[in-house]
Protein backbone atom coordinates (compact mmCIF):
# COMPACT_ATOMS: atom_id res chain seq x y z
CA UNK A 1 0.00 0.00 0.00
CA UNK A 2 2.81 2.41 0.86
CA UNK A 3 4.53 1.63 -2.43
CA UNK A 4 1.37 2.53 -4.37
CA UNK A 5 1.21 5.90 -2.59
CA UNK A 6 4.82 6.63 -3.52
CA UNK A 7 4.13 5.94 -7.19
CA UNK A 8 1.05 8.14 -7.37
CA UNK A 9 2.81 10.96 -5.51
CA UNK A 10 5.71 10.97 -7.97
CA UNK A 11 3.48 11.72 -10.98
CA UNK A 12 2.64 15.41 -10.89
CA UNK A 13 -0.41 16.56 -12.80
CA UNK A 14 -1.82 19.87 -13.82
CA UNK A 15 -5.58 20.28 -13.97
CA UNK A 16 -7.09 22.38 -16.74
CA UNK A 17 -10.70 23.27 -16.10
CA UNK A 18 -13.05 25.53 -17.98
CA UNK A 19 -15.24 27.85 -15.91
CA UNK A 20 -18.38 26.91 -17.86
CA UNK A 21 -17.96 23.14 -17.46
CA UNK A 22 -17.66 20.89 -14.44
CA UNK A 23 -15.25 18.72 -16.40
CA UNK A 24 -11.52 18.84 -15.97
CA UNK A 25 -8.52 17.63 -17.89
CA UNK A 26 -5.42 16.40 -16.10
CA UNK A 27 -2.06 16.57 -17.84
CA UNK A 28 1.00 15.02 -16.20
CA UNK A 29 4.24 17.03 -16.08
CA UNK A 30 5.91 14.19 -17.96
CA UNK A 31 3.52 14.74 -20.87
CA UNK A 32 4.61 18.38 -21.15
CA UNK A 33 8.25 17.23 -20.92
CA UNK A 34 7.80 14.71 -23.75
CA UNK A 35 6.09 17.31 -25.98
CA UNK A 36 8.99 19.70 -25.35
CA UNK A 37 11.54 16.92 -25.92
CA UNK A 38 10.10 16.00 -29.30
CA UNK A 39 10.05 19.67 -30.34
CA UNK A 40 13.72 20.08 -29.33
CA UNK A 41 14.81 16.93 -31.14
CA UNK A 42 13.49 18.39 -34.41
CA UNK A 43 15.70 21.51 -34.20
CA UNK A 44 18.73 21.41 -36.51
CA UNK A 45 22.00 21.86 -34.61
CA UNK A 46 20.97 19.90 -31.52
CA UNK A 47 23.28 16.89 -31.23
CA UNK A 48 21.52 15.37 -28.24
CA UNK A 49 19.74 16.10 -25.00
CA UNK A 50 21.93 16.44 -21.92
CA UNK A 51 20.41 14.38 -19.15
CA UNK A 52 21.73 13.33 -15.81
CA UNK A 53 23.36 10.04 -14.93
CA UNK A 54 19.98 8.54 -13.92
CA UNK A 55 18.46 9.35 -17.32
CA UNK A 56 21.27 7.54 -19.13
CA UNK A 57 20.94 4.47 -16.93
CA UNK A 58 17.18 4.38 -17.51
CA UNK A 59 17.68 4.43 -21.30
CA UNK A 60 20.23 1.61 -21.14
CA UNK A 61 18.11 -0.60 -18.90
CA UNK A 62 14.79 -0.05 -20.67
CA UNK A 63 16.21 0.02 -24.19
CA UNK A 64 13.88 2.90 -25.01
CA UNK A 65 14.78 6.47 -25.84
CA UNK A 66 13.68 8.82 -23.07
CA UNK A 67 11.98 11.70 -24.91
CA UNK A 68 11.86 13.77 -21.72
CA UNK A 69 15.62 13.46 -21.13
CA UNK A 70 17.17 16.83 -20.36
CA UNK A 71 13.80 18.56 -19.89
CA UNK A 72 12.65 19.99 -16.55
CA UNK A 73 9.06 21.20 -16.37
CA UNK A 74 7.50 23.34 -13.67
CA UNK A 75 3.75 23.62 -14.14
CA UNK A 76 1.92 26.33 -12.26
CA UNK A 77 -1.85 26.86 -12.32
CA UNK A 78 -2.32 27.97 -15.95
CA UNK A 79 1.27 28.37 -17.14
CA UNK A 80 4.49 26.43 -17.29
CA UNK A 81 8.23 27.02 -17.15
CA UNK A 82 10.48 24.70 -19.10
CA UNK A 83 14.25 24.16 -18.81
CA UNK A 84 15.97 22.43 -21.72
CA UNK A 85 19.50 20.97 -21.41
CA UNK A 86 21.19 20.29 -24.74
CA UNK A 87 24.46 19.46 -26.42
CA UNK A 88 24.93 21.33 -29.69
CA UNK A 89 26.71 20.20 -32.82
CA UNK A 90 30.11 21.73 -33.50
CA UNK A 91 29.98 24.68 -35.90
CA UNK A 92 26.39 25.82 -35.33
CA UNK A 93 25.51 29.31 -34.14
CA UNK A 94 24.32 28.67 -30.58
CA UNK A 95 22.03 31.75 -30.22
CA UNK A 96 20.15 30.72 -33.38
CA UNK A 97 19.69 27.14 -32.14
CA UNK A 98 18.53 28.35 -28.71
CA UNK A 99 16.04 30.81 -30.26
CA UNK A 100 14.62 28.09 -32.51
CA UNK A 101 14.25 25.74 -29.52
CA UNK A 102 12.39 28.41 -27.55
CA UNK A 103 9.98 29.08 -30.43
CA UNK A 104 9.27 25.42 -31.24
CA UNK A 105 8.83 24.33 -27.61
CA UNK A 106 6.52 27.24 -26.83
CA UNK A 107 4.39 26.64 -29.92
CA UNK A 108 4.17 22.86 -29.39
CA UNK A 109 3.31 22.99 -25.68
CA UNK A 110 0.78 25.81 -26.03
CA UNK A 111 -0.90 24.18 -29.03
CA UNK A 112 -1.14 20.68 -27.55
CA UNK A 113 -1.92 21.46 -23.89
CA UNK A 114 -3.54 24.88 -23.82
CA UNK A 115 -1.08 25.97 -21.12
CA UNK A 116 0.67 29.33 -21.43
CA UNK A 117 4.44 28.90 -21.62
CA UNK A 118 5.96 31.61 -19.44
CA UNK A 119 9.62 30.63 -19.93
CA UNK A 120 11.74 28.32 -22.04
CA UNK A 121 15.28 28.39 -20.67
CA UNK A 122 17.93 26.74 -22.85
CA UNK A 123 21.08 25.47 -21.11
CA UNK A 124 23.90 24.45 -23.44
CA UNK A 125 25.82 21.73 -21.61
CA UNK A 126 28.40 20.93 -24.27
CA UNK A 127 29.47 20.69 -27.89
CA UNK A 128 29.49 17.40 -29.78
CA UNK A 129 32.77 17.15 -31.65
CA UNK A 130 32.63 13.51 -32.78
CA UNK A 131 31.67 14.38 -36.37
CA UNK A 132 34.56 16.86 -36.60
CA UNK A 133 37.02 14.24 -35.33
CA UNK A 134 35.65 11.63 -37.78
CA UNK A 135 36.05 14.05 -40.74
CA UNK A 136 39.66 14.86 -39.74
CA UNK A 137 40.50 11.14 -39.54
CA UNK A 138 38.89 10.35 -42.89
CA UNK A 139 40.72 13.23 -44.60
CA UNK A 140 44.16 11.92 -43.54
Q: Where are the domains of the chain?
A: 2-139
Q: pLDDT at residue 11 above 80?
A: no
Q: What is the pLDDT of residues 75-104, one digit of tens each?
A: 887 889 999 999 999 999 999 999 999 999
Helical segments of 2-128, H only: 2-10, 29-41, 53-62, 94-113
Q: What is the pLDDT of residues 34-71, one digit of tens each?
A: 999 999 999 999 998 987 654 545 555 555 567 888 99
Tell me, what's the pLDDT at 2?
Answer: 42
In CATH, the architecture of 2-139 is: 2-Layer Sandwich (3.30)
Write b or e for each residue in 20-41: b if 16 or more Cβ atoms lie within 10 A of its Cβ, otherwise e: eeeeeeebebbbbbbbbbbbbe
Amino acid sequence: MEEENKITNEIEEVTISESTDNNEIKIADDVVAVIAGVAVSEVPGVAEMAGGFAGGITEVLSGKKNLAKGIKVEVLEKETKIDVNIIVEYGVRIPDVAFEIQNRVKKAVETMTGLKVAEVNVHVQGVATTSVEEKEVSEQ
